[in-house]
Amino acid sequence: DSKAAASGSEGVLANFFNSLLSKKPATSP
Amino acid sequence: EMQDMLTQKATELFMLCDKEEKGFITKRDMQRLGGELPLTPDQLEAVFDSLDDDGNGYLTLEEFTEGFGGFLGFGSED
């Protein structure tokens, strides 16, 4: 399976998402 | 070439979210990532909203790539 191979990408994905979160504060309707 | 690399990496990450290969990502897909990424469902939803430019509830590869480009420092045109 390819799960192990994807773990590096998941780290990148987590960084990407965290950067989006730090740029845009959580929604405040 | 940078653009190619960006597209390639963004596609790879997109596939991690779009496990069913639908061609788009929904909030449900994002929330499923909570098991794999150190983010809460709320945070994943906020990420989704910030990437879903047109707010139609479907995150396309195009929108995803644009957001990822911004993350890597590729300014968008506008």
Of A13, A23, A27, which is closest to B16 when you measure between CB atoms?
A13
Of A6, A10, A27, which is closest to B46 when you measure between CB atoms?
A27
Average pLDDT over residues A2-23: 82
pLDDT of residue A25: 53
CA B19 distance to own-chain centroid: 13
Q: What percent of chain B has pLDDT over 90?
A: 87
Interchain CB distance below 8 Å, B33 and A13: yes
* A14 φ/ψ angles, rounded to the nearest 5 degrees: -65, -40
pLDDT, tens digit, 9 for 90 and up, residues B24-60? 999 999 999 999 999 999 999 999 999 999 999 999 9
- Give the integer Cα–Cα distance in Å for B24 and B13: 12
d(CA A5, nearest CA chain B) in Å: 11
CB atoms within 10 A of CB B39: 20
- Give the integer Cα–Cα distance in Å for B9 and A28: 31
